[in-house]
Amino acid sequence: MIWTMSKEYLIALLQVIVSILIWSASFVATKFSYDVFTPLVLCFIRFFAASVVLLLLQMTCNRGKKLPPEDRRAVMISGLSGVTIYYSFENVGLSLTSAANASVITAVYPVMTILLGVLFFHERVPFRQLFGILTAVAGIIVVTYTNVEGESSSLIGNLLLIANGFNWGMYNYEVQKVSQKTDSLSLTCYQTLYGSLFLLPALLLEVPFQVGVLTTRAVLSILFLIFGCSIGAYFLYNEGLRHISAVSAASVLNLMPVFGLFFSAVLLKEAITARQIVGCIAVMAGVMLSAYAKK
């Protein structure tokens, strides 16, 4: 119950919830930014700009504090999985599917985090948790199944977003290895820097580069992605992971479909279908069963 939680835990939980709210709006902002940049170029610009700002903050607030040598591997892996691969898949996937579908699919990430824990971190899965996993997978099948010609949803885009669940799970586990020893600003700064550097080879996939006409909507969206999502949300999420488990933090992603469908309908004017709603309910029910069994 909420009244039995410690103040420290509640603050961490609130930090994670706010970060999820910000990231829920990122699907819309990313769609708007495609007016100017292609998916991978947008990804690089977003995180390179964020790393420059974070390095300035690191120099000012932390006097250029460097990572301990024993933490560099985990931070590099978190940058590779949670920035480079994750957002490459998300940006390309989002260019092929709807923002509403993307927000629903992210709700299965807690389940995939649990699966990752079973496969690589020796965690055990009770029957209730297994049933929750299967329920969530059924919901994702409902959302991603498409046989209507001209529908904005794309199977390839959906599959890229589903695969991202393992990237996000790896990110959570790697961050937890160092979050107790490394302050959140240093962690966010260096994983963003590593992530943006690892993105450089991916840019070759979009040569020759194509740049559209800058619009006010696109500029504001890109600024939101840089300062709101890449800096603010990551800092809050990393800070939250200092006090709650990777699975608990990932379970808060249950809120992503609710926030994401709302932003998609209001800002992008995307039609929310009955299939999406049914799939969303199934995914959230499955994730809640999994999270409950984890306690």
Amino acid letter, residue 242: R
Over range 274-279, report the average pLDDT: 79
Q: Number of structural domains, the chain?
A: 1
Classify residue 1: in a domain, yes or no.
no
User: Considering the domain boundaries, does residue 190 fall inside one?
Assistant: yes
**Amino acid symbol at 36:** V
Residue at 3 is within a domain: no
94 in any annotated domain: yes
Residue range 4-44, pLDDT digits in tens = 557 787 888 889 889 988 998 998 999 999 989 999 999 99
Among 55, 19, 12, CA closest to 196: 55
Bridge partners, 37 (sequence order): 211
Instruction: Report angle CA 21, 27, 30 to the nearest 5 degrees.
Output: 125
193 is in which domain, residue-wise?
Answer: 8-294
Tell me, yes or no, whether 2 lies in a domain.
no
What is the model's pLDDT at position 247? 64
Q: Is the per-residue pLDDT at 153 higher than 70?
A: no
**Mean pLDDT score, 64-91:** 91
* Range from 52-66, 138-152, 186-200, 274-288 carrying the lowest mean pLDDT: 138-152
- In-domain check, residue 50: yes
Is 224 a domain residue?
yes
Q: Is the per-residue pLDDT at 277 higher than 60?
A: yes
Among 24-28, 98-102, 231-235, name the one with the lowest average pLDDT: 98-102
| Tokens coding 229 | 């999502």
* Confidence (pTM): 0.80
CA–chain centroid gap for 203, Å, is 21
Answer yes or no: are the C-beta atoms of 138 and 79 closer than 8 Å.
no
Beta partners for residue 211, in sequence order: 37
Reported as a single tens digit per residue, the pLDDT across 127-138 is 776 677 677 777
Mean pLDDT across 189-213 = 90
- By CB atoms closer than 10 A (0-12, 13-18, 19+), residue 159 is middle
Q: How far apart are CA 183 and CA 61, in angstroms?
A: 11
